[in-house]
């Protein structure tokens, strides 16, 4: 093969690869756009839609101290099982009741949907509505969870939104919330105060100027894990229909908070939320709230190591 032909073949391969990536990105965007066109505001889907699956709980009888809302997808049954066995297991922490529920959209795979229905009946911990479970519908999924709290569990004191690939130290979180001694207008997590929209077309988090013309986002907390007092859930729910729909759920919540004039707060003077991950250490993990990028087998490993060393002396500085 001549050098000229080799170069031509190479450039053709690169061009087809770029075209493929571009089309994949458009498919994701168009899934979201279709939903946005079908529903011009969150009201149609989140407020008027029917819940397909609901948790088995009566909050008026046994109000939880903390409700953990964990975003998941229909096919992530292994990750949900691991969360149920570790930090998401229903329990009392210093006498405070903590419950966990999973937020799911729907799937076009009928076998997966049948499996989700059976799982919901068995464990009674799934919240689901009829919207396609794709990344760009995460705002719908989060607002569904907030609506559930507003309608079915306003008696709870705090709510946390997180993901199945996050390790949550519920013991330290409970300790810090009790120490904070606040039950109204509290919103905390890993604070992002001056984030810039990503304008690179091939990025998963690409935002066009037609979607968000501003040069910086409003203050928001990383969607990997944020905590708020339950009164904030009702306020976000009530104001959400007047806030333009935005596909990045953590930014959308930030837009709601700006309108509500609710300021973000640090939960502790030292960093406790780690959206970029953190190398596991028994002592270090006693003083964190969240760690991102944790696989199911690591969740089990971390949890069992922690549970087996509850009396570990951890006085050193990290």
What is the average pLDDT value for the chain, to the nearest integer? 86
Q: What is the pLDDT of residues 36-52, one digit of tens each?
A: 333 334 444 455 568 99
pLDDT, tens only, 56-92: 899 999 999 999 999 999 999 999 999 999 999 999 9
d(C-alpha 45, C-alpha 140), whole Å: 8
Per the listing, tokens 């969740």 go with 299
Within a 13 Å sphere around the CA of 40, how many CA atoms are in the beta-carbon half? Answer: 1
CB atoms within 10 A of CB 266: 14
pLDDT score at 26: 40
Q: For the segment 199-222, what is each residue's pLDDT rounded down to a tens digit?
A: 988 888 899 999 999 999 999 999
CA distance 130 to 106: 6
Instruction: Band the pLDDT of 150: cuts 50, 70, 90.
Output: very high
Distance CA 107, CA 316 (A): 48
Q: Whole-model pTM?
A: 0.85
* Predicted local confidence at residue 24, as pLDDT: 40
Please report the sign of the dihedral spanned by the C-alpha atoms of residue 209, residue 213, residue 214, residue 217: negative
pLDDT at 29: 36
What is the structure's pLDDT at 201?
87
């Amino acid at each position: 093969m001549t050098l000229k032909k080799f170069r031509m073949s190479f450039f053709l391969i690169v061009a087809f690869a770029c075209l493929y990536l571009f089309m994949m990105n458009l498919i994701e965007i168009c899934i979201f756009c279709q939903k946005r066109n079908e529903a011009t505001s969150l009201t149609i889907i989140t407020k008027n839609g029917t819940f397909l699956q609901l948790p088995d709980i009566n909050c008026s009888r046994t109000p939880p101290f903390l409700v953990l809302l964990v975003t998941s997808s229909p096919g992530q049954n292994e990750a949900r099982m691991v969360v149920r066995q570790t930090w998401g297991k229903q329990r009392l922490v210093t006498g405070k009741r903590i419950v966990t529920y999973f937020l799911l959209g729907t799937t076009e795979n009928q076998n997966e949907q049948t499996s989700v229905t059976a799982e919901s009946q068995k464990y009674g911990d799934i919240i689901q509505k009829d919207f396609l479970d794709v990344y760009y519908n995460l705002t719908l999924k989060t607002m569904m969870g907030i609506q559930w709290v507003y309608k079915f569990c306003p008696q709870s004191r705090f709510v946390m939104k997180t993901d199945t690939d996050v390790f949550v130290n519920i013991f330290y979180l409970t300790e810090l919330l009790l120490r904070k001694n606040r039950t109204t207008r509290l919103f905390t997590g890993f604070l992002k105060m001056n984030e810039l929209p990503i304008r690179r077309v091939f990025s998963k988090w690409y935002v066009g100027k037609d979607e968000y013309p501003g040069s910086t986002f409003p203050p928001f907390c990383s969607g990997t894990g944020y905590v708020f007092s339950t009164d904030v859930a009702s306020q976000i729910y009530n104001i959400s229909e007047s806030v333009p729909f935005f596909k990045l759920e953590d930014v959308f919540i930030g837009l709601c908070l700006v309108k509500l004039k609710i300021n973000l707060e640090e939960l502790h003077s030292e960093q406790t939320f780690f959206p970029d991950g953190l190398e596991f250490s028994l002592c270090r993990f006693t003083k964190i709230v969240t760690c991102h990028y944790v696989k199911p087998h690591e969740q089990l490993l971390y949890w069992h190591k922690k549970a087996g060393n509850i009396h570990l002396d951890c006085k050193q500085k990290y």
